[in-house]
Structure 1
Amino acid sequence: ITYFDQTAPPRGLPGASVSAAVGGQGVLWTNNCPRPTPAERGELLSDDEWEHYLGAAERYLGVTDDTFSGSVRQQRILERLGPVLAAAGRDLRGQPMAGRLVAPDTVHYVATDDILAGVGVRIETADVRHVLFHRGRASGVRLADGPTVPASAVVVAAGAFDTPILLHRSGIRHPALGCRLTYHPVLYSQLVLDPDVCGGAGDVPPRLWIPPAPGAPWNTMLLRDTNPVPPSAPDVDLPAHRLLEIQTFCPVDIHPDNTMTIADDGAVAFDVPLREADRARMAAVLADQHELAGALGRFRAGLEPQWMELGFAHVMGTCRMGAADDGTCVTDEFGRVWGTENLYLATVGVIPDPLAVNPTLTAAALAIRSVDRLLSGA
C-alpha cells in the first residue's frame, strides 16, 4: 500500500492510498455490500434500472444478508437495539455481504476467482501507462515496458485514484477530473458487551447494519472486524466473544472545491476541507456511537471512538458521471468518457452523488450497466 502523503493536514487526506497488490484495494475489502438507499441514488438511472443492476451486482458477488443469522450475539443485539432504533425511525438488520460461512469462525469472502469461475476470461498482468487514441477512439494501451496492446474498446477500472491518474497521463484533462470528490470519515470503536448480550466462546460473530435514515444520514455497522488499534489496561486480554466493533461511515458533502490535483509529473495533492455541515454530521455520529455503546455495554479501554485518518475509506467522485458535458462530470451516464467513442470507466470514482453506504455494490451495478451499453454498440 502506498500513501500519497501521510504528513498532509486533514484537508489533504493523509489516509488516502493506493495498492499495487494482487486484488488491488480489494485486499482491504471486508465484502460489505449494502444497496444505496433511495435518497442516495440520484437521477441518472430510473428506479427500474437501479433494481435491475443492483440485483445483477448482488448475483455476481453472491450477496446475502443472513450469513450471520445464527449468531447468538446478533440475535440479542437485535432484541435490545431494534425497538430503540425503530422508535427513532431507524432500522437494524443483517449486513448484506459478499461471502458465506464455511465454519463458525471462518468466512469465505467472494473475490475475483469466484466471479470469473468458468467464464474463460484471460487475465494478463501488466503495468498500463497510457490509453492510446486514434480519431477520438481508444485504440489500445501502452505498457510500461514499451509494447502496445490494441483494443476495440478500453475500460479503465483502476479505482478512484489510479483511474484519473491514468486518464491525465493519457492526455485527458477534462476540467471535472478530480473535482467534486467525496469520501467517508470513519469513526471506529470497540465495545465490551454486557454478559447477557454474549453467546458462548464458539458463537458465530455478529454482523449488523443500521442503514442511513433521514434523521441519521450515516452508515453504521456492528460487527467483528480487523482491529487497527491496540487496547489498553485493564482491557488488554478479553475473550473474543465479549467484543464488538462499531464502524460508522459519515458522508462528506460534494463541493466544487473538493479537489484531487494531478501534476504533469504524476504527483497528487488533495484539498477537501471539512465544512460546517460535515462537522455537524460528524459530531452527531460521535454522539450516536456513545448511545449505541451505552445500550450494549461499554467501550474497551484504548478503543474509545476515534476517527481514522481522513481519506482512508471510500473516496468517490474523482471522475464523476453525469447527463451532460457541462464541466461537472467526466463521463456520460453510461460511464463513457466525454469526447471519446469507446473509453469507459468502471470505478467508485464515477459515483456522482454522496453515499453513506459502502460504495462497492453501487459501483458494480454502474459498471455492469456500462458494459451492457458498450456491448450494445449504442
Structure 2
Amino acid sequence: MTDVLIVGGGLMGAAVARELRDADPSVGIVIADGGPVIGPTPGQHLHDVADARLWERYNQRVASGIQGFYTGVAPTSDVGSLADVEPGMYHLTSLGEDAAEMPAASIAWNAGGMGVHWTAATPAPWGDEIPSFLDSAEWRSDLDRAGELLRVNRNPFPDTEAGTVVTATIEKLFADVDAPGRSVQPMPMAAQRDAAGVLRRTGPNVIFPPIADAATDPHFTLLTETRAIRLIHEGGEVRGAVVQDVRTGATREIRAAATVVCADTMRSPQLLFASGIRPPALGRYLNEHAFLTGRVLADPQRLGFDLPALPAQADGEIMIGHYWQPHSGAAQPFQAQIGVQAFTAEDGTRLACQVGTSLYIPTEIKADNRLEFSGEETDAMGMPRISVRFGWSDRDRELIEQARRTQQALGDALGSFDPDTESALLDPGCSLHFTGTVRMGPADDGTSVCDSDCRVWGFDNLFVAGNGVVPTALVCNSTLTGMTTAVRAARAVLATLG
C-alpha cells in the first residue's frame, strides 16, 4: 500500500511527484512507467545523455527541427511484442492503432515518456488559450510554478547580429497586428546552461531527482517496464491499479490512497476506458494545431548582417538563435517559430544563414475529433485498440490558407522564398501537441472528463494530469500549459490525503 500511485513517469508525473514531495517528505509515492529506460539513467533527457551513441542518434533525429519527424516520415510496420521493442518514439500506427486520419501521431515507448525527447520550447499561453472558468490569480500562480518546475529560460541563446536583424524585420511585418507585449521575442526553453556553457534540457529527473536514483528517497519507488493495465475501483473510489511486467507478463496489484494518471493524451483515456471508467467526453475533443513548416535563406546584404561573422552552432544545437512570434488572437492568429541556423564548411567558412519560418495554426475544438476505443481488438500493448477520428474544418482550412500568405510575407521579407520547395503543410499529428482527450471543465455536463482540480468526475481520489487535460485550442507549444494541470492535480491530491 502506498499513498499515491502515479501512472507515467514523464514530465507531468515527475512534476506531481515533486509537488507532493516538497509538501510532505514522508508521503509514499510510486511511479509506474511502462517503457524501458534509455541509457544508464532513468528520466535523463537524451540531449544530455552521456552515451555517445544515444547522443548522436538523438541529435541526428532532431536535426530537422520538426519533432514529428523524430520517428521518421512514414510509419513503420507493426512493432510486434513490446518485450522486444527498442525504447524510443513510435507512430501510433506502428503500435497497432488505426491512425490513418492523424498519420504522423506518435508516442514514446520508454521510461520518461516524451520528457526525454522533447525539444523544450515553452512559450506561454495567452488569450483564449487560457481556460476562462479558472480563477485568474490562481492560474497565473500555477503557470509560474509550472515554469519553475520546467526550469524555463526566457533567453536561452546569446544575441547575434543575424538574430537582431531577423527579429527587427519580423517585428516590422507584424507591428500593426501585434497585441501589446506580443511582438517577436526569444523563444523560452526548459533549458539552463551548466558551468561549461552547455544548454542542458529539463527531463523528468531534473524535475524530480529521485527518478534518477530512487535510493535517495526512502518513500519513493520507480517501477519501469511496468505498465498499468486496469484501475481498481468501486463506488467512486479508486484503490490502485493492476500492473503488468512487460518482460514476463506477470501481473500484480498496487494499492494506493490516491491515483494520478499522467500517461499522455492517448494512453490516459485508453487506461480509463480499459478500466470501465467511461464518461461521455472520454477521448473526445482531441485537438492539435496545424503545422505549416518553412525555411528561407536569409539575404545578408539586404538585411545588413555580416555572414562570415556568424557564430558556429554548438555541438548538439541545431540553431544559433531561437525566437517566436506569438499569436494575438483574431488579428494575428498564428504562432511563428523562428530558428536561425548557420551553415558552415569544413574549413569553418560560413556558407549561408537559414531561417525557419514555421507557423502553428489554431484549429476548432470539435467533439467528433476523438479517440475511439475497441471493446474487442487490442494494440501492441494489449490495451483497447485506438481508432483516431480527426479532420480539419472549413474554418481551419481558411486559416491554413491565411497562414500560407503570412509565411510568404515572412519569407519574402528575409530572403528569396519559394513555397513550392521551402514550405510544407505537415500531416495531422506532426506537432505532437495533442490536447483535450481527458479535458477539464467547470461542470459535469458530459463535455469534460475531470473538474478544474483534475479530479475525474464521479471519483474522490482519481486524478488526471498532462496535455490531455487542457480544454482549449492551443496555438503555442503545449508542455508549459499542460504542466499547470500537474500543479493543480498535486494540490488536489494533497487535499485529498489530508
TM-score (norm 1): 0.89
Paired with 2:273 and 2:164, the residues of 1 have a C-alpha distance of 50
Asked if residue 336 in structure 1 is aligned to residue 455 in structure 2, the reply is yes
Aligned to 1:223: 339
Deviations 1:172-224, CA, capped at 9 Å, x for gaps: 11111111221122111222111244552426711101111121212111015
How far residue 93 of structure 1 moved from its aligned partner, in angstroms, is 0.7
Deviations 1:40-92, CA, capped at 9 Å, x for gaps: 21223121011100000111111121112423322221222223322332510
Question: Is contact 1:11-1:273 (8 Å) kept?
Answer: no
The 5 A counterparts of 1:260-339 are 260-264=371-375, 265=377, 266-299=384-417, 304-313=422-431, 314-339=433-458
Residues 79, 330 of structure 1: alpha-carbon distance in 2 compared, 3 angstrom cutoff: same
What percent identity do the matched residue pairs reach?
Answer: 27
Q: Which amino acid aligns with 1:143?
A: V
Asked if residue 141 in structure 1 is aligned to residue 241 in structure 2, the reply is yes
Paired with 1:149 and 1:9, the residues of 2 have a C-alpha distance of 31
How far residue 240 of structure 1 moved from its aligned partner, in angstroms, is 7.3
Question: Is contact 1:190-1:303 (8 Å) kept?
Answer: no
Aligned to 2:104: 15
- Work out which of the residue numbers 191, 196, 202 in structure 1 matches 2:312: 202
Paired with 1:261 and 1:358, the residues of 2 have a C-alpha distance of 25
How far residue 301 of structure 1 moved from its aligned partner, in angstroms, is 9.3
Asked if residue 65 in structure 1 is aligned to residue 181 in structure 2, the reply is no
Asked if residue 53 in structure 1 is aligned to residue 142 in structure 2, the reply is yes
Deviations 1:113-148, CA, capped at 9 Å, x for gaps: 211137835422111111111332111111122111
- Work out which of the residue numbers 271, 276, 283 in structure 2 matches 1:178: 283
Question: Is contact 1:190-1:300 (8 Å) kept?
Answer: no
Aligned to 1:228: none
Paired with 2:198 and 2:416, the residues of 1 have a C-alpha distance of 26
Question: Is contact 2:177-2:328 (8 Å) kept?
Answer: no
Deviations 1:144-169, CA, capped at 9 Å, x for gaps: 22111111110000110010111111
How far residue 39 of structure 1 moved from its aligned partner, in angstroms, is 2.6
Aligned to 1:35: 124
Question: Is contact 1:34-1:361 (8 Å) kept?
Answer: yes
Deviations 1:332-372, CA, capped at 9 Å, x for gaps: 11111111111100111111111111111111112101211
Q: Which amino acid aligns with 1:141?
A: A
Greater Cα shift, 128-137 or 83-92:
83-92
Paired with 1:373 and 1:240, the residues of 2 have a C-alpha distance of 55
Paired with 2:465 and 2:418, the residues of 1 have a C-alpha distance of 40
1:312 match: secondary structure: coil
Residues 278, 301 of structure 1: alpha-carbon distance in 2 compared, 3 angstrom cutoff: closer
Question: Is contact 2:231-2:240 (8 Å) kept?
Answer: yes
- Report how many residues are paired: 366
Residues 10, 20 of structure 1: alpha-carbon distance in 2 compared, 3 angstrom cutoff: closer
Deviations 1:211-255, CA, capped at 9 Å, x for gaps: 111212121110158xxxxxxxxxxxx957612222221121011
Q: Which amino acid aligns with 2:104?
A: G
Residues 375, 327 of structure 1: alpha-carbon distance in 2 compared, 3 angstrom cutoff: same
Greater Cα shift, 16-25 or 270-279:
16-25
Aligned to 1:94: 186
Aligned to 1:250: 361
Q: Which amino acid aligns with 2:405?
A: A
Deviations 1:300-320, CA, capped at 9 Å, x for gaps: 898511022212221110111
Question: Is contact 1:137-1:342 (8 Å) kept?
Answer: yes
How far residue 376 of structure 1 moved from its aligned partner, in angstroms, is 1.5
Paired with 1:3 and 1:64, the residues of 2 have a C-alpha distance of 30
Residues 241, 56 of structure 1: alpha-carbon distance in 2 compared, 3 angstrom cutoff: farther
Q: Which amino acid aligns with 1:252?
A: T
Question: Is contact 2:116-2:203 (8 Å) kept?
Answer: no
Aligned to 1:169: 274
Paired with 1:303 and 1:127, the residues of 2 have a C-alpha distance of 44
Question: Is contact 2:238-2:461 (8 Å) kept?
Answer: yes
Asked if residue 124 in structure 1 is aligned to residue 234 in structure 2, the reply is no
2:251 match: secondary structure: coil
2:109 match: secondary structure: coil
Asked if residue 367 in structure 1 is aligned to residue 486 in structure 2, the reply is yes
2:280 match: secondary structure: coil
TM-score (norm 2): 0.68
Runs of 5+ consecutive residues of structure 2 not aligned to the other structure: 1-88, 211-215, 245-249, 314-318, 342-348, 378-383
Residues 310, 301 of structure 1: alpha-carbon distance in 2 compared, 3 angstrom cutoff: closer
Paired with 1:96 and 1:67, the residues of 2 have a C-alpha distance of 7
2:223 match: secondary structure: coil
Q: Which amino acid aligns with 1:164?
A: P
Aligned to 2:467: 348
Question: Is contact 1:57-1:365 (8 Å) kept?
Answer: yes
Paired with 2:241 and 2:321, the residues of 1 have a C-alpha distance of 45
